[in-house]
Amino acid sequence: MEELTKSLHKLKQPNPNDKVYKDECIFSFENPESPDGLFICLTTFKGFSKDFLKLYTSKTGNNFFLNIKRFKHPIEKQSDGPESKVTRLAIGVADGFNPDSPQFRYEEKYEVVVVTDMKIHTFPYPHDIEKLPKVVQVCVESILKAESAFRVAEKEALSTWDGETRITTKHTNLLQLNNGKKIPPSGWKCENINCDLTNNLWLNLTDGSILCGRKFYDGTGGNDHAVEHYKNTNYPLAVKLGTISRDGKADVYSYDEDDMVEDPNLAVHLAHWGINITQMEKTEKSMVELELDLNQKFGEWIAQQEQTNQLSPCNANHAGLINLGSSCYLNSVMQMIFAIPNFVEQAKLASGLLSGKHLEGIAPRTFRTYIGRGHPEFSTNRQQDAQEFILHLINMLNRNVIDDKNLADYFKYQIEERYQCSSGKVKYQHRPEYLLPLPIPMDAVINKKEVEEYEAIKKSQGKNTNNQNPVRAKIELESCLEKFAASESVEQFYSSALQDKTTASKTTRLASFPPYLLIHLKKFTMEEDWTCVKLDVAIDMPEVLDLEHLRGNGLQDGEELLPEANESQAPAPVYDQILLGQLTEMGFPIEACKRALYFTENRGLEPATQWLMEHISDSDFSDTFVPPGIDAKKESETFTPIQEHVEILMSMGFTKEQAAKALKETNNILERAADWAFSHINELDSMGMEVEIPAEPKFKTGKGLYKLMGFITHMGTSTMVGHYVCYLLENKKWILYNDEKVFVAEKPAKELGYIYLYKRMDNFDTE
């Protein structure tokens, strides 16, 4: 007993600030439901699987643990009541999606475990607890009562998301025309002479017109006549007929606010057209209900693309990722990224995916908590864009380099931009990139006739075509590459030869080819009314891709370089401060706002906003703005740490120089800077008083010949709704990862992808 109790002085009770990891092993995905359960250290409150127990004890000397084993039993459905149904586009709220919906009842068993001389001693709790000192019982009871670290993180991450929350429209005092029109209580039909639709109809609250709504991704819905009417009239508000109910609720859409809205004066606005809201009955599905239907029909959509009645489950060493509430974007990205061999031994998540131990699926709670910490979007449960998440992940990899090995380098390539101004002289600029963004030229559609015939049939037959497979516009990838490489005109280019602003032509090439190339098809674009739409197109993506024709070779014979020009030589850009303030209040990054004002010459809010909308997907959209033609200062010359953050880090024991280095590496984010500093102690201890100018970046390059390895597909009309899945080529078979469900894909929808992963076909070690 003396040997068992000699380390009792190290036992602690968790205080409110301590994190208790009692849901999952910190090194693996073993949990209380695993055969051996989970072991929580009574000193550090970290959880371990049995595989790591003795190793942890030998390294730390902490040898007291609480073992939790959990057994789940299915809950039988109640036959005397209706089955619970999702009726709200929401997560974690009443009638919405509930990841923690009680499908099982749980039974837990506990043991106190003491490890001595590599032997494990067990004491069933609470039966044998009297054999151990009172302090053990107190610690165990405190851990059982404490909220788990994952649950705390969920609360911090806003564990509920309500997709039905709507802003109040700015058009509450809407001007309505007195044209004598009155709307009957039923019998509505689209007023467009070429349309016979009698459902999905929208009443414009300004002039009383009744027109059909937008069409959905699967070809159902309307023919866009209500949208066209807004473009012609600018009448902003429309209400969906059939959704108006006597309790004052209805679907109201504001075209210029580009969102579903609340109209506090809806009853008054409807009364103007002779509609008594207290007499109305809801007869059609709301947009929320339609979105729910589309989301829940996803399996049918996959089956349609596969052209098979049933997908074959894939159970051999393929683990899926459980959806933690609108995290399908994360699941798809991580399945694709961790399929790369270089990542296999680098992370707990990769090990869990590839170990073959968790075929029922694993929940990436720890990873999501860490990767989203401090980020205004990825720390929430809201749906996100997979492309933006990939860039965020790469930024995190760049900030957390281990042993001089940066995993982001496997995606990094160099862009070459060539400018030629009216003097005839040229300028070459280079920058690193991680995704290749390809525009989609809608003027290059190869089946234009078939698409036009399909649209004509839809307009003439209306809802009778809703059950047909939609005819998508088809575009060759080569057309996208040609658009990417085409020469473009750059206004207000500062020519150091002319010492004045002029117009220059710009061409873009690839100066290096990374081991793994991520291609982003820019399917989300802005319409003329600034509404965000997704292009419903099919891009022919080859399995073998040759990009050598896009290789940049730098200065050519006969070309003359422009003299170097810095910001002190060129006239300083002038930004209208009122316009700059208005743009930033809209939520645009300040550097992007500077770009917009510079290229629109401060002409006004509308031109600047339009420029922002047209360039919102540019890779350098929010980077520090340097006028074209000007040589940017080196990063080390321009970085200024936030003084308050420096002082806080210095209070933790770091020097001023070390604090500045940590903030520089983490873009002035204090919490990340502290984490970075503590994980790079050796580097900070050896650094000099001056921050060194970073060396020129190196690129892993080779031939521009690639083979398709995987892709992510998005189903839905917006990045903020819908669903992501991932396809991976493994052993000559395509595997479909739909969250925790994994299937063999007989006919992968390669032409409908959003993000593609290509693997270079030559030696990866060339630099």
Using alpha carbons only, give the angle 417, 421, 425 rounded to the nearest 5 degrees: 85
CA dihedral 249, 252, 257, 258 (to 10 degrees): 120
| 190 annotated as a binding-site residue | yes
Residue with tokens 């991976």: 728
171: buried, middle or exposed (CB in 10 Å: 19+, 13-18, 0-12)?
Answer: buried
Q: Looking at this protein, which amino acid is placed at residue 313?
A: P
SS3 304: helix
Cα–Cα distance, 654 to 262 (Å, whole number): 51
Cα–Cα distance, 485 to 509 (Å, whole number): 7
Per annotation, catalytic residue among 328, 421, 480, 726: 328
Q: Which residues contact 171 (CB under 8 A, 6 or more apart)?
A: 236, 237, 254, 263
| 593 annotated as a binding-site residue | no
213: buried, middle or exposed (CB in 10 Å: 19+, 13-18, 0-12)?
Answer: buried
DSSP H helix total and E strand total for the chain:
22, 30
Cα–Cα distance, 464 to 387 (Å, whole number): 36
Backbone angles phi, psi at 274, to 5 degrees: 80, 15
| 726 annotated as a binding-site residue | no
Per annotation, catalytic residue among 318, 520, 714, 723: 723
Nearest in space to 684 (alpha carbons), one of 666, 652, 668, 662: 662
Q: Looking at this protein, which amino acid is placed at residue 470?
A: P
- 549 catalytic? Reply is no
| 532 annotated as a binding-site residue | no
- 645 catalytic? Reply is no
Q: From the centroid of its chain, how far is CA 417?
A: 28
Nearest in space to 18 (alpha carbons), one of 38, 44, 48, 49: 44
Q: Which residues contact 80 (CB under 8 A, 6 or more apart)?
A: none
Give the sheet arrangement for strand 413-421, strand by strand: 426-433, 413-421, 500-510, 488-495
237, 252 contact by CB (below 8 A): yes
Task: Give the CB-side neighbour count of residue 281, counting CA atoms within 13 A.
Answer: 2
- Extract the annotated binding site: 190, 195, 212, 225
- Extract the annotated binding site for Zn(2+): 190, 195, 212, 225
Residues with catalytic annotation?
Answer: 328, 723
